[in-house]
Amino acid sequence: MDNTEVLMVLVTMAVATFITRAFPFVALAGVADHPLIQRFGRLLPPMVMVVLVVYGISGMPLDQMRSVLAVASGVGATVIVHCLFRHVLLSIIVGTGLYMTLIALGG
């Protein structure tokens, strides 16, 4: 495959990705003010975050007490920092940093 073909494949993938990301906004533009859509817009992000946290925790080693404490401390710190400052990136950094520090000190 030469450079032209690689470039054509990349452009095709970029356009396809853009279309699939933009389609829901274009398709639902007429009903954006509907109460059900407004409710989904409010509730879906926290629900997705809960699923991601549960999935992430389910993959962690919880066979020893120090691992359980590190996970619980990291999640707790993330929740507390987010409730205090309402800054997603800050809460993720603090929670991840605390978890990694506790794991490094415990192991």
> Is 0.75 topped by the overall pTM?
no
Tokens describing residue 18 = 């853009």
Tokens describing residue 62 = 């919880």
Nearest to 107 by CA among 69, 58, 53, 57: 69
Tokens describing residue 80 = 């507390």
Q: Classify 81 as helix, strand or coil.
A: helix
Give yes or no for a contact between 37 and 31, defined as CB atoms under 8 angstroms apart: yes
Tokens describing residue 23 = 């389609």
**pLDDT tens digits for range 9-28:** 999 999 999 999 999 889 88
**pLDDT tens digits for range 63-89:** 888 889 999 999 999 999 999 999 999
